Amino acid sequence: MRAKLVTVLSTVVFGVLCGTTAVAQSLDQAESQPENWLTYGGTYNSWRYSPLDQIDRSNVKRMKVAWAFQLGAVDMGFQATPLVADGVVYVIGPKNRVFALDGATGERRWHYFHEIPEGHSVYGNQNRGVALGHGNVYLGTADNYVVALDATTGEVAWKVNVEDSAYFGCNITGAPIVIKDMVIVGSTGGDSAHRGHIVAFDARTGKLRWRFNTIPGPGEPGNETWEGDSWKYGGGAAWMTGSYDPELDLLYWGIGNPAADLYGEARKGENLYTDCIVAIDPDTGEVVWYFQEIPHDLWDYDSAYEAILIDAVLDGRERKLLIHPNKGGYMYVLDRTNGEFLTAWAFSDSINWTTGLDEKGVPQNRREPVLNTETLICPNAAGARSWNQASYHPNTGLLYNVGIEWCSMVIARKQDPKMGQSFLGGEFGRVLPPPGEVISSRLVAHDPITGERKWVRSSKYPLLASILSTGGNLVFYGDPEGKFYALDAETGDELFRFNTGAGHRGSPISYAVDGKQYVATPSGWGSLVSDYFPAIWPEAAGFTAGATLFVFTVDEE
C-alpha cells in the first residue's frame, strides 16, 4: 500500500476560542493565532503540533527556564496538558487544582480548588486537562462533576453532577472538549462494574444536551452483543478526550475495555461499543459509524486513546484519515468519513495476544487468559503505549509515537459484579519482559500510514509522557527520571536536555506571548502505571514526584 501525505486539516482549532474577551472565532480568524494552545490535543485534529518556529534546531541549545510554577499537591503525578489563550496559561494539577498564570512571567492570576469528598475518588486525584470556550474554563472532577469557571476571575459559573461517583465507581480524569455551544466529556471507571458514557452540556448554562451510553441498553442497537444483563456492568469508559472534524461535523471518541476485564464468560458477544472508535453527531449524541478494534476484549486493551485526523493520498485516492492507537500495540488507519478499515501496523515488537489482523482488521488466533491459570500476555494491561499522546508533524509527515515492550502473567477469575466496585475478573500478576528480551521503550518517528520507522530513540524506562512537535523542526518529550529533551524532528538527534528534577507524566506544549515563543512541560512523577516500576527497577523507588510547570524560552543573542 502506497501513501503520500497531502494537504491536511487546519493546524488551528475551529470553533469557540477563549480569552478574556471570550470572542467566537471563525476558522480563518483562528488560523492567525498560532500563539495559542486551545484544546487538549492542541487542535481539534489532535496533532500535538505547534507551527511556532522561533525556537528551532539552530538555537534550541540556548533554551533556558523562563519561569516555573509549583501547583502544591503531589498525588498520582502531574498528568495535564496546559492550555493557553491570549497570553494566559490555564492548567490543572493533582487534586483538581486549577490555576490561571501569566504566560510570560508565571504570575498567578487566580486559582480554584475543587474539594473531593472522602471515598469519591476511585482512581486517584489525577486530572489530564481543562477546556476553554465561551469565556469559561471547564474541568471534570474526581467526584464526577463538570465545573465551568469564569476565565477572567476563576469564579464558578455553573457546576453539574454527572452521576454519583461513590455508587457507580466512576469519575472524570480526561479533559473536556468544547464544540459549538457544548462542553463534552467522557467517563472514567471502565474497570468497575459500571456503564460508561459520553455527555454533552450547554456550555453557557450546564444544562444536559445529550448522553451517549457506551454500552447499549435493551432496545438499542448493539445490546444483542451482550449476554443477559451484563450490559449493566459492562465498563466501556470513554476516559480520554475526543477529536473533531468541523467539515464533516463529526466527533471521534475512543472507548475503553469491557468489564470484567479478564473474564468474559458472563458477557459473551462482541460487547459493543467497547474497544471502538465511534463517530458521533455532536448535536445529538447519535452514533454515525463505529469501528471495533478488539471484539470481546479479554486483556484490558482500551481503545480510549487519541484520534489523529489527517488527509492523505492512499493508493492514488485522496482520503480523509483517522489514525488511532490502542493498548494492544496496533495503530489503526481508518477512513474517517465512514469508519472503513484501511490498514494497521504494529508499534510493538512483542505482541502475542494475536498473530495479526485480517483484511478487515479483526484479530486472528487470539491468546486469551485462562481460568485460574497463569498465561503470559504481551503487551501487559498498561499497554504497548500509555495514554500519553503521539504527535504528528505536517512538514516532516511523520508521526512521533512511543512503544513499550513488556508483558504480564495474567489469571482469569470468575467474579460476580457489584455496582461501582472493582470488576477485573482476575489478576494482572507479575510484570515480565518479552521472552528472551528485556523490558524496554522507545520514541519512534513513523510513517503514519505504513508504520515504517524513520528513526528510533531508545529508553531504559517506559516513556509515559506525551510528545510535542513544532514548526522549528523539533520534537520535545520527557522521561521518568525527569529529563526533558529536544530532538531534531528529521533525524532524532538530541539537541537539548534539561533535568526538571521529577519524572514526566504530562504533555508539553508551545505558545507565544508578545511575539516570544515558549515551551511548557509539566513535571511530576506518579500514577497507577508508574507503581509498576520499583519491582522491575529498584532505583525507580527514588524517582521524584512533584507538580511543577516548567516554561522555557530562548533569549536573543
- The whole-chain average pLDDT of the chain stands at 92
pLDDT, average across residues 464-482: 98
Handedness of CA 509, 83, 119, 167 (dihedral sign): negative
pLDDT band at residue 120 under the 50/70/90 scheme: low
User: What average pLDDT score do residues 360-387 get?
Assistant: 97
Percentage of the chain exceeding pLDDT 90: 82
- Tell me which of 185-189, 190-194, 469-473, 505-509 is least confident: 190-194
Contact partners, residue 515, CB within 8 Å, separation at least 6: none
Based on the residue annotation, tell me whether 300 is a catalytic residue of this protein. Answer: yes
pLDDT of 26 higher than 50:
no
| 240-286 pLDDT, tens digit each | 999 999 999 999 999 999 999 999 999 999 999 999 999 999 999 99
- Lowest mean per-residue pLDDT among 100-114, 303-317, 527-541: 527-541
| pLDDT of 144 over the 60 cut | yes
CA angle 4, 9, 10 (to 5 degrees): 135
The type of residue at 1 is M
- Domains in the chain: ranges and CATH: 3-553 (2.140.10.10)
Residue 319: pLDDT band (50, 70, 90) is: very high
Residue 13: pLDDT band (50, 70, 90) is: very low
Chain-centroid distance, C-alpha 303: 10
Pull the grid cell for residue 161.
453532577
Residue 132 phi, psi (nearest 5): -125, 145
Number of other CB atoms surrounding residue 441 within 10 Å? 22
Q: Which long-range contacts (CB under 8 A, 24 or more apart) does 330-337 make?
A: 330/293, 330/357, 331/399, 331/401, 331/446, 331/448, 331/451, 332/277, 332/291, 332/293, 332/361, 333/448, 333/449, 334/277, 334/291, 336/245, 336/248, 336/250, 336/252, 336/279, 336/307, 336/309, 337/248
Cis ω for the linkage preceding 49 (within 30 of 0): no
DSSP tag of 500: -
Question: Residue 388: CB partners within 8 Å, gap ≥ 6?
Answer: 402, 463, 464, 465, 466, 467, 505, 506, 507
- Asked if 506 and 79 touch (Cβ cutoff 8 Å), the reply is yes
Residue 122, pLDDT score: 58
Q: Report which DSSP code applies to 506.
A: S
Give residue 490's pLDDT.
99
Active-site residue (options: 75, 143, 300, 479): 300
Give the CA diameter of the chain.
70
Question: Which pLDDT value is given to residue 9?
Answer: 41
What pLDDT does residue 305 have?
98
Mean pLDDT computed over 139-156: 96
pLDDT band (50, 70, 90) for residue 24:
very low
Residue 373, burial from CB neighbour count under 10 angstroms (0-12, 13-18, 19+): exposed
Quick check: 42 pLDDT over 60?
Answer: yes
What the block records as the C-alpha cell of 99 is 490555576
Higher pLDDT, 20 or 545: 545
pLDDT at 121: 58
Read off the pTM. 0.95
Give the per-residue SS3 of 159-183. EEECCCHHHHCCECCCCCEEECCEE
**pLDDT, tens digit, for every residue of 514-556?**
999 999 999 999 888 888 899 999 999 989 888 999 999 999 8
Closest to 82 in 3D by CA, of 364, 431, 468: 468
Taking the CA atoms of 383, 386, 389 and 391 in sequence, report the sign of the dihedral they define.
negative
